[in-house]
Amino acid sequence: MPCTTILVGKKASHDGSTIISRNDDGGFEAKQVLVIKPEKQPGKYKTVISHLTVELPDDPLQYTSVPNVTKTNGVWPACGINSANVAMTATETITSNPRVVGADPYVVYQKKEGRNGKEVPGGIGEEDLLTLVLPYIKSAREGVLRVGALLEQYGTYEANGMAFSDSDEIWWLETIGGHHWIAKRVPDDRVVIMPNQFGMDQFDFEDAYGAKKEHLCSADLKDFVEKNHLYTGRDDVFNPRLAFGSRADSDHIYNTPRAWFMARYFMERTYKWDGPDADFTPESNDIPWSLVPERKVTVEDVRYLLGSYYQGTPYNPYDNTSPLKGKYRTIGVPNSDVCGILQIRGYMPDAIKGVHWYSMGGSGFTACFPFYANVDALPKYLSGTTDTVSTDSAYWQSRLIAALTDAHYGSNILFDERYQKAVWNRGTQLLNEYDEKILKGEDVKLLSEANQKITDMVKKESDKALGAILRSSSEHMKIRYHRGDN
């Protein structure tokens, strides 16, 4: 499942928030945004893909979720924030290598074969993890420990990375083979960039087996590495990417260029990014996993990157003057089902700490808007999506706007940019207005009113943009003629 992740530590963000974010590049699966009440969380969970039954604790928290509308291929809840103001995004598909998977094979579902055959359940995977973890954790660290325990008990059938945040910390976890895992606390002053590859490039086993302050892992991970001769590095500092990741030609087209563009954005002056003497190129294998950005990072920065397509470089697929256009896989792609940016604002009261910023469906041409997580339900424009295309759904309306903008980029991008800016401006204004009301002591029930007002605004601006873009696209249809007679 191709995705892109950006994590922003509290000292790297402009307001002291922790920010975890990800494009869920699912493949045109309609999404709805739901609030899952504790009484709706099952006591037993049956996975769709691996046919595994997992017993769940009996004390779940309320949480938000962005599942697929149709569950035929699994739930895939993507990301959410629970009532303890802990956020989770799961998951980023990452890479591995045959040495790792051969030493600890994936736990793959086996169908019943023949009359006397037996069905063998597989492990857990991306479609399951948010449901299995987010309702039961009260800190980012607890999220890591719960996932680690589940991996050790049930295993997994795929390689994934996932992020957890609370108001103080961000943790990143990556799976290793079928049962092993590694996790690292994101330094407060850093930004992490993840483009579908094994990411971590430094790890301290001494801390992981000692104080466990910044590093956590499977209890036997170091022995696993040594026994199976997994490490290929020569430095004193252990580089997990060299041990557990990949170094394939396809990475240089599909993955590393995205890391290059994101790092270039955050560290524009620190390194040289272009030309024959560049410090890093789009095909470099050693682009850092984490960076200290040259300036404080905003939600707008994160959303720009998650919708980006190599603007300002020769690789922009819409630049018809460049022979290199479209050479590399972009970050913003049409099969992004949702871009979720989860902000935990430690300086705010608990009721308004957790804010979602969502962009539904499409690529870089959809509007991003906020809503409060600590509510009993969400507006129908978000929660009422069906598998039928409708402009009454944020998901489908956004996808329509994105598809038409892409089809006639030159004539439609201006309308789309105006649309995105209008939603950003008004959404931020409404968030500030309702923040002030809560800070002045008004009832937190106003948060549902705020979410409704924000989504009503998004619907109005989307109607307006869709009309303008549809008209422009119609005027550029190939069968249009300009003769004055009938």
According to DSSP, residue 95 is labeled -
3-state helix, strand, coil split of the chain in percent (to 5) is 30, 20, 50
Query: Quick check: is 207 in a domain?
Result: yes
Q: Which domain holds residue 104?
A: 3-364
Amino acid in the structure at residue 188: D
- Whose CA is closest to 315, among 291, 277, 270, 283? 283
219 and 301 belong to one structural domain: yes
Query: Quick check: is 375 in a domain?
Result: no
pLDDT grade for 482, boundaries at 50, 70 and 90:
low
Inform me whether the pLDDT recorded for 274 exceeds 60. Answer: yes
pLDDT digits (tens, 9 = 90+) for 289-316: 999 999 999 999 999 999 999 999 999 9
At residue 239, the pLDDT reads: 97
52 and 153 belong to one structural domain: yes
pLDDT digits (tens, 9 = 90+) for 121-148: 999 999 999 999 999 999 999 999 999 9
338 and 413 belong to one structural domain: no
Distances (CA, A) of 477 to 88, 264, 287, 348, 381: 43, 38, 43, 50, 30
Task: Tell me the CA end-to-end span of the chain in Å, nearest whole number.
Answer: 52
Query: Quick check: is 377 in a domain?
Result: no
Q: What percent of the chain has pLDDT over 70?
A: 98
Query: Quick check: is 484 in a domain?
Result: no
Q: Residues 203-229: what's their mean pLDDT?
A: 98
- Whose CA is closest to 354, among 371, 367, 329? 371
pLDDT digits (tens, 9 = 90+) for 283-295: 999 999 999 999 9
Q: Residues 216-235: what's their mean pLDDT?
A: 95
Query: Quick check: is 485 in a domain?
Result: no
Inform me whether the pLDDT recorded for 486 exceeds 60. Answer: no
Q: Are strands 44-46 and 53-55 parallel, antiparallel or unpaired?
A: antiparallel
133 and 238 belong to one structural domain: yes
Inform me whether the pLDDT recorded for 151 exceeds 70. Answer: yes
For the domain that residue 127 is a member of, what is the CATH number?
A: 3.60.60
According to DSSP, residue 62 is labeled P
- Sequence-distant (≥ 6) Cβ neighbours of residue 428 within 8 angstroms: 370
Query: Quick check: is 343 in a domain?
Result: yes
Active site residues: 3
At residue 480, the pLDDT reads: 66
At residue 450, the pLDDT reads: 98
335 and 468 belong to one structural domain: no
Rounded Cα gap, residues 426 and 430, in angstroms: 6
Residues written for the chain: 486
327 and 277 belong to one structural domain: yes
191 and 327 belong to one structural domain: yes
pLDDT digits (tens, 9 = 90+) for 333-359: 988 999 999 999 999 999 999 999 999
pLDDT grade for 481, boundaries at 50, 70 and 90:
low
Between 126-133 and 140-154, two packed helices, what is the crossing angle to 10 degrees? 130
Structurally, the chain folds into a number of domains equal to 2
Mean of pLDDT over the chain: 96
Are the CB atoms for 154 and 54 separated by under 8 Å? yes
Inform me whether the pLDDT recorded for 69 exceeds 70. Answer: yes
Query: Quick check: is 80 in a domain?
Result: yes
178 and 267 belong to one structural domain: yes
Other CB atoms closer than 10 Å to residue 207's CB: what's the count? 16
Are the CB atoms for 276 and 346 separated by under 8 Å? no
* Torsion angles phi and psi, residue 286, rounded to 5: -115, 25
98 and 134 belong to one structural domain: yes
Rounded Cα gap, residues 188 and 10, in angstroms: 5
354 and 396 belong to one structural domain: no
* Torsion angles phi and psi, residue 182, rounded to 5: -145, 145
Query: Quick check: is 380 in a domain?
Result: no
Inform me whether the pLDDT recorded for 484 exceeds 70. Answer: no
